[in-house]
Copies of this chain bind each other. A is one copy, B any other.
């Protein structure tokens, strides 16, 4: 059975503008004028007077929407009147994700399984890795695998090759335990479109070796954080976080295993929300309409 998200009549709209009265009425009227039936709506304002306004609407149109054009026409006056930015995603346009991965495979396996099981509203366009380890597992599912080994001296060159692979073929990137730091050039090419999983409960233990440091500090809970990548390492907008309990008996290796459980869950949730157009970024924070 096709998920409603994938129906050619399904449209999702993300909106951001300065808050003022009348936005909801104008947007709803415009959609009604197009014959839309709104099935989900959610909104957030940072402050009713002078704050920023955010909204997500999902609706069914009376007939399949081939392109964004007809919607754009209806939204142009709104954009002008309310200084409103909007982003559309159409049911038949599945986003294309590129997965970056190094040796650890728990996040990759999770995303591949979600895809097999129909839980992913996106296509996996390719997997890029600095190791050959996962080629077979990826290719047997018919997904292109690109090996881009990275050394201390070829970083710029390798990223150039990766960008060549990505341009026109991927809408967003998922760093599924990819142990390389992206350059500003790559980040600029996919603004708020690179999702990373950090293996700790940010801002605690940002940086490397979080489990060893968590062990040393004697924490009682292990967390993981999915966030958009920005130039400032481990400081981009947080999308999702979760935790699992541990106790004094856990070694760093045990903590890592627990961490993998929570990492894959948190990353999968973040990817799902991203592909369903549920996330807005404002002021280095996310607004998530789940």
- Seen from chain A, the residues whose Cβ lies within 8 Å of a Cβ on chain B are 1, 19-25, 27-29, 31-32, 35-45, 48, 60, 105-106, 109, 113, 116-117, 119, 140, 201-205, 217-221, 223, 237-243, 247-249, 253, 257, 260-261, 265, 284-288, 290
Contacts and interface: CB of A to CB of B under 8 A. Distances in A.
Nearest to A36: B21
Contacts of A38: 21, 23-24, 43
A203 B37 CA distance: 35
B43 A41 contact: yes
A24 B48 contact: no
Contacts of A28: 24-25, 27-29
A288 B248 contact: yes
**Copies per complex?**
4
Contact of A60 (B27, B32, B48, B287): B48
A29 B285 CA distance: 31
Given A220-B240, A238-B219, A32 B37 contact: no
A113 B106 contact: yes
B60 A37 contact: no
Given A43-B38, A240-B220, A25 B20 contact: no
Given A24-B28, A24-B41, 11 more contacts: A1-B253, A23-B38, A24-B32, A39-B48, A48-B60, A109-B113, A203-B204, A218-B238, A218-B284, A220-B238, A220-B239
A41 to B, nearest CB: 5
B257 A261 contact: no
Nearest to A119: B257
B39 A45 contact: yes
Contacts of A248: 44, 285-288
A240 B246 CA distance: 10
Contacts of A106: 113, 117
